[in-house]
Amino acid sequence: MPEAEGAFEKVLKAGEILFREGERGEEMYLIRSGKVEISNSAGGAKKVLATLSEGSFLGEMAIVDDAPRSATATALADVSLLILDRSAFKGQIQENPMVEYLINSLVKRLRETNEQVKILLQKDDVCRIAASLLNLGREKGAPDGSGVLIKGSYTPDGFASQVGVGKAKAAEILDKMQKQGLMEFSADGIKIASMGDLEEFWKFATLKEKFKEM
């Protein structure tokens, strides 16, 4: 295939990391040969999401919406990549506004799905609930005093189904979190008193679960 303007080639040895979860991304890649493992961390443990081979694209989400990489890419064997940078990619899709809108919408939907998968991969119910609240707060929360408000029709039972936790167990966990002042359900949605405190709570729950397994 002809190389696009702004593209160039990169070669990785087996075991080399192409990019890490959480890094900023300025390039996307097409695998010409070799295999690349896509993984991320959930609850402190590595989870392999996919193994990509010749003809597969990767890294495209970060250059579309400027968000951090959602996963880590590692060469499983010697890999040859075609690289397309952000400006070249943007130049191509901006020629057609409908295509640009479609790609941006698909990337947003895929990121939401990836976040939900990461939450569901966490074994501990407390971790799942806290992680889901953090994700909702970051994605949909609006400033409300010292905290954020996630507007919508949320109920404990509906929230339990969303994160894959039994209703009785979810009600117990959410009740404790409300008594601790971390969050509360209201007529307007879910109020998170402090995103920082909620993140600390999630980290503590994650560490507790991790060391319980040792």
CATH (domain of 180): 1.10.10.10
What integer is the mean pLDDT of 138-146? 83
Confidence of residue 139 (pLDDT cuts 50, 70, 90): confident
What integer is the mean pLDDT of 50-65? 84
Q: Give pTM, 2 decimals.
A: 0.50
Q: Which of 68, 99, 117 is the last residue of a domain?
A: 117
What integer is the mean pLDDT of 157-167? 82
What integer is the mean pLDDT of 143-147? 83
Q: Are residues 113 and 169 in the same domain?
A: no
Asked if pLDDT for residue 43 goes beyond 70, the answer is: no
Q: Are residues 30 and 103 in the same domain?
A: yes
Q: Are residues 12 and 108 in the same domain?
A: yes
Residue 95 is part of a domain; what is its CATH number?
Answer: 2.60.120.10
Residue 29 within a domain: yes
Q: Are residues 139 and 189 in the same domain?
A: yes
> Which tokens belong to 115?
């976040």
Q: Are residues 107 and 127 in the same domain?
A: no
User: What's the domain range around 177?
Assistant: 123-212
Residue 2 within a domain: no
Split into its structural domains, the chain has a count of: 2
Q: Looking at residue 56, what is its pLDDT? A: 87
